[in-house]
Amino acid sequence: MRKDKAMNTEQFITMLDAKGITLSPQQVQQYETYYSTLVEWNEKMNLTAITEKPEVYLKHFYDSITAAFYYDFNQPLHLCDVGAGAGFPSLPIKIAFPELHITIVDSLNKRIGFLEHLSKQLGLKNVRFIHDRAETFGQNKEHRETYDVVTARAVARLSVLSELCLPLAKVGGTFIAMKGAGAKEELGAGNKAVSILGGKLDQTFSFTLPEEESERNILIIKKEKATPKKYPRKPGTPNKTPIE
């Protein structure tokens, strides 16, 4: 394992290229702008504890894009990212796959302000940022069961996360949960919730993040049937009393 446990820009470009994701000079520049904007705003508000450039490229940009190694984003899908914080995983994926339509829902208005500014700096199209709790958002008829893909990265354990995400995926759509170590245990505890909410685990992919060698798991969950109307429950309830 390398001492720096991180990734420079050249390695980032090369490793994505090896996975069939070739970045144009414009896309490379967008990641550079993303990084500089993230660091600049992070001085004013808490967006990330990771600020060193090689670490941001590895643990935020590359880590976010790993979902695209196992799912085809190269099409004009409508994707909703729940609790994206500083835009992960959806905005690094959006830069690599510009045809995507991205909706980010986040409960902190300050973060929405950052994302709106970032989006302008990056020149992104077909992106929208909504200030709301995921529980309320999932009951909104305009958004409920309308998305092809719903993503979440390290937001909550699977039994909770399923209740926040599956109501937003349309029947026939996909929920992609990006997890670190311990995903198998989460799956064991969260399987009932996934099933009740209309989902079924399709595939699990496990790998180690390069350089750093930490475990990553990507759970691909198919939405097979409509989510019962009572889900998601009121804000805070899924976390306090998860479906188990």
Read off the tokens for 15: 């490793």
Read off the tokens for 84: 């994206």
Read off the tokens for 74: 């190269």
Does 163 carry a binding-site annotation? no
CB atoms inside a 10 Å sphere around CB 128: 13
**Helix, strand or coil for residue 97?**
coil
Does 134 carry a binding-site annotation? yes
For residue 211, which amino acid is it? E
Helix (H) or strand (E) holding 32: helix 25-42
DSSP string, 199-244: EEEEEEEEEE-TTT--EEEEEEEEE-SPPPTT-S-STTHHHHS---
Does 135 carry a binding-site annotation? yes
Contact of 169 with 143, CB cutoff 8 Å: no
Does 88 carry a binding-site annotation? yes
Q: Give the whole-angstrom CA distance, residue 63 versus residue 218.
A: 11
Does 152 carry a binding-site annotation? no
Q: Give the whole-angstrom CA distance, residue 56 versus residue 68.
A: 18
Q: Which residue has the tokens 């009932």?
A: 192
Backbone phi and psi for residue 242, each to the nearest 5 degrees, phi listed first: -65, 155
Q: Name the binding residues.
A: 83, 88, 134-135, 153
Q: Name the binding residues for S-adenosyl-L-methionine.
A: 83, 88, 134-135, 153
